[in-house]
Amino acid sequence: MQLDPARLLSLSKTVGTPFWLYCAKTLRKRIAEIKHLTGDGIQARFAMKACPATKVLREMQRAGIWIDAVSGNEILRALHAGQSKGQQPPSILYTSDVFRDNALQVILEQGILPNIGSAGMIEELSRAGYSGDVSIRINPGFGHGHVNSCDTGGPSSKHGVWFADLAQTAQRVEAAGMRVVMLHAHIGSGPRFEELHENLDRLASEFAALLPIFPHLQGVSLGGGIPHNYRDNTQQIPLDPLKTLFAKCRERLSEAAGREIRVEIEPGRYFVASACVLVGRVAEVKATQTNEKGQGATFAMVDAGFVDLVRPAMYGSYHGIEVIPHDGGARESQPIVVAGPLCESGDVFTRDDAELLVPRELPVPKSGDLLVLRDAGAYGYAMSSNYNSIGRAPQVWLEEDGSIELISRRESLADLLKAEVEEPIALGL
């Protein structure tokens, strides 16, 4: 995303800081790249937990990208954005290990295919009167994400039915009067593209071996796992080898089943990571003195914090940082720690997954400069919160023709208090 400093400064005066800025051109480019991988029985879904903004969901719907939802309200948001309910094959898939809040009710009312990650969910569906088709999420025994805390497969992952228990789970589905029409697994992107390729190939082979016990199977999801390079946006993984791999997986699965099997992929991060930045304002630059251990730092204090973008504080994620001088002046560079406004020592954007400060070589900002955190579209606004009773920052949309729209306003105190009950309600217990 190319940023015009003068326009960015003008926009900050209009909407205030911090704010999220989405680039329509970048998002559509990523959608087109994923669409290039599909066709001929290969379908892409968007894991909408990465970014559930209605504007983004409507871009997915127009491009023919289906949805993977993980809550009842995500299903309803997808429907609000134009996805179809009760469609066969299902354009909305509900994936979870536990039914929470309104999820079960929404599945029943809207005709959504449940992708169950725990065998006990079969009985819950049956008790609720559900007798339709199901998908089963499998833990294949291998796979992991970009950090250890993001394991999506293997013994330390909470997700899915353990592969050795799959046959027994299939019997429970059949005994409940349901059919398994889809199998799903998500082995994560891993640290290397080669590992992703190997794991996807291995996963397809394991699925092919399972097909004889699923006579009604229509589709197999190989999950997400297409990584985004946060450290160098210009160096992304080659997608053509994945296109070839997905086609071979579909051929292998269809041959094993003796009929056409739909193969699905389910990126979340890859679609949206590069399409959004978080823009904050520098309040002050201050320094601590170096102690006998050589500890000391120069801090750029900004008005954005982990209440907005939690990924660096949660698991040491890296985001590129750009300083936009408010006066257009040049700035000398030195190691800078970028810290937010929250009453938390961990409210720091420049740190690693061991929770250590990692100063970034940056132009030394001045009060009033803007600071841009790049590649914030995936799990940015989606994971933001109201901690410290701070309203979530507004979302702004930059269209390809240069026009700018506000797509969500800054939250007010009234928004934060809306769910609270002014007069306590007796529950009669």
Residue 404 contacts residue 394 (beta carbons within 8 Å): no
Do residues 250 and 113 share a domain? yes
Do residues 260 and 288 share a domain? no
Band the pLDDT of 356: cuts 50, 70, 90: confident
Boundary of a domain, candidates 212, 239, 272: 272
pLDDT of residue 150: 47
- Residue 343's CATH number: 2.40.37.10
Q: Is residue 72 situated within a structural domain?
A: yes
pLDDT of residue 129: 95
Do residues 264 and 288 share a domain? no
pLDDT of residue 105: 97
Count of structural domains within the chain: 2
pLDDT at 180 over 60: yes
Q: Is residue 128 situated within a structural domain?
A: yes
Do residues 81 and 215 share a domain? yes
pLDDT at 142 over 70: no
Do residues 143 and 165 share a domain? yes
Rounded CA-CA distance 297/287 in Å is 6
Do residues 211 and 350 share a domain? no
Q: Is residue 5 situated within a structural domain?
A: no
Q: Which domain holds residue 353?
A: 274-417
Q: Measured over all CA atoms, what is the biggest interatomic distance in the chain, rounded to whole angstroms?
A: 72
Do residues 221 and 361 share a domain? no
Is position 23 annotated as part of the catalytic site? no
Band the pLDDT of 190: cuts 50, 70, 90: low
What count of other Cβ atoms lies within 10 Å of the Cβ of residue 243?
Answer: 15
Residue 335 contacts residue 298 (beta carbons within 8 Å): yes
Boundary of a domain, candidates 240, 272, 304: 272
Phi-psi region of 220 (alpha: psi -120 to 50; beta: other; left: phi over 0): beta
- Residue 71's CATH number: 3.20.20.10
Do residues 29 and 148 share a domain? yes
Q: Which residues of 45-64 are buried (b: 16+ CB within 10 A; e: fewer)?
A: bbbbbbbbbebbbebbbebe
Do residues 196 and 156 share a domain? yes
Residue from 23, 51, 150, 343 carrying the catalytic annotation: 343
Q: Is residue 427 situated within a structural domain?
A: no
Rounded CA-CA distance 16/393 in Å is 9
Rounded CA-CA distance 14/117 in Å is 45
Q: Is residue 348 situated within a structural domain?
A: yes
CA-to-CA separations, 351 to 78, 312, 317, 336, 348, in angstroms, rounded = 35, 7, 8, 11, 7
Do residues 236 and 304 share a domain? no
Q: Is residue 368 situated within a structural domain?
A: yes
More confident residue, 63 or 144: 63
Q: Is residue 381 situated within a structural domain?
A: yes
Q: Is residue 86 situated within a structural domain?
A: yes
pLDDT at 172 over 60: yes
Its pTM stands at 0.93
Do residues 91 and 42 share a domain? yes
Boundary of a domain, candidates 272, 294, 313: 272
Q: What are phi and psi of 221, to 5 degrees?
A: -105, 125
Average pLDDT of the chain to the nearest whole number: 91
Mean pLDDT of 48-61: 98
pLDDT of residue 146: 45
Do residues 248 and 284 share a domain? no
